[in-house]
Amino acid sequence: MKNGLAISILFVSSIGWGLTWLPIKGINQMGLDGLYLIFIAFASAGILLSPLLFIQRKSWRGNLQFLLLIAFFGGLANLLFQTAMVHGDVVRVMILFYLLPVWSVLGGWYVLKEKPDWIRIGAVIISLIGALLILKVDSHTFDGLSWIDVVAIGAGMAFAFNNILFRKTAEQPLASKVSAVFIGCALLIGTYIVLYTPTTGMPENGAPLYAALYGVLFLTLITFGTQWGVTQLEAAKAALIIVMELVAAVISVALLTDVVLSIREIIGGALVLSAAVLEGWREPDTETVEVVKS
């Protein structure tokens, strides 16, 4: 019964992540600058979750540096991901974000001293081939690489390192780690806004309120749904469900917009998706894996 509930919640949460582009694009089109949108959403959720961090503060004594790193890398991952979603092509951003096997293998080897096996090495190779196809990279030019592509790839890198930190602090409360990610993102974007004030001001419509609701309701619910789901299921089963994010993004974009993917992007996306499934499938069933995505 509990296993079925975990599958259902993780499935719905993954679909939710694949549909995040709808509120992001919608609120942005109401005139709310992307920087303000991200700040309001994450600051609102951070304020909501801050009591959890305060209540569980004693459990972090002696490990405060890891909590700060989680706040930084988790916040950075979400800042870059949301920014790429605001300004970029949804499917392309999602596919490039899903180059996670590459960064997970490199980070796990460097931080956790995990020796990659041949399955993980294969996942890395497949991911890189898919990325090269998507970005139209050849031996002569990188013209296919845009700043949004760099942001999307950077989001995946920060997310992968944040996952490694979650695994390294597996004995620590999950709620406070999620809270730190929201607060970290709000602090990062808030600092940037103070230093580099956006040229556009706040619209006088309901966009700021919608941004707050997006953070407090939508992001908070799908984040905790994902966190609880992956800690209740075997890593292989969770990995197969989580890739519904990418599937939901592709299907929703195809149905609701006039975006047409090129054959290179379709093949490259299929390779990246296959690598993500392969990376999750090779984890031992006994390992408890925590995945955070704010």
Output the DSSP codes for 49-64: HHHHHHHTGGGGTT-H
In this structure, how many other beta carbons lie within 10 angstroms of the beta carbon of residue 269?
22
Looking at residue 289, its pLDDT comes to: 42
Among candidate residues 293, 17, 14, the one with its CA nearest the CA of residue 155: 293
Report whether 284 contacts 155 (CB < 8 A): no
Can you give the pTM of this predicted structure?
Answer: 0.79
Yes or no: say if 279 and 104 are a contact pair by the CB < 8 Å rule.
Answer: yes
Q: What is the pLDDT of residue 35?
A: 86
Contact 231, 290 (CB under 8 A): yes
Full pLDDT tens readout for the chain, 294 residues: 567 788 888 889 989 988 999 999 999 999 898 889 999 999 999 999 999 988 998 888 888 899 999 999 999 999 999 999 988 888 888 878 877 666 666 666 665 566 666 776 777 777 777 767 766 655 444 556 788 888 998 998 888 788 778 777 878 888 899 999 999 999 999 998 888 776 676 787 889 999 999 999 999 999 888 878 777 776 556 666 777 787 888 888 888 887 777 787 778 777 777 776 666 555 544 444 444 444
In angstroms, the CA 157 to CA 125 distance is: 16
Secondary structure of 67-131 in HEC code, one letter for each residue: HHHHHHHHHHHHHHHHHHHHHCCHHHHHHHHCCHHHHHHHHHHHHCCCCCCHHHHHHHHHHHHHH
Q: What Rg, from alpha-carbon coordinates, does the chain have?
A: 18
Cα separation of 279 and 93, whole Å?
20
Distances (CA, A) of 63 to 67, 113, 166, 177, 185: 7, 20, 12, 12, 20
CA distance 85 to 82: 5
Going by C-alpha positions, the residue among 206, 184, 213 that lies closest to residue 73 is 184
Smallest Cα–Cα separation from 291: which of 181, 151, 186?
181
Return the pLDDT at 42: 95
- Asked if 181 contacts 71 with a C-beta cutoff of 8 angstroms, the reply is yes
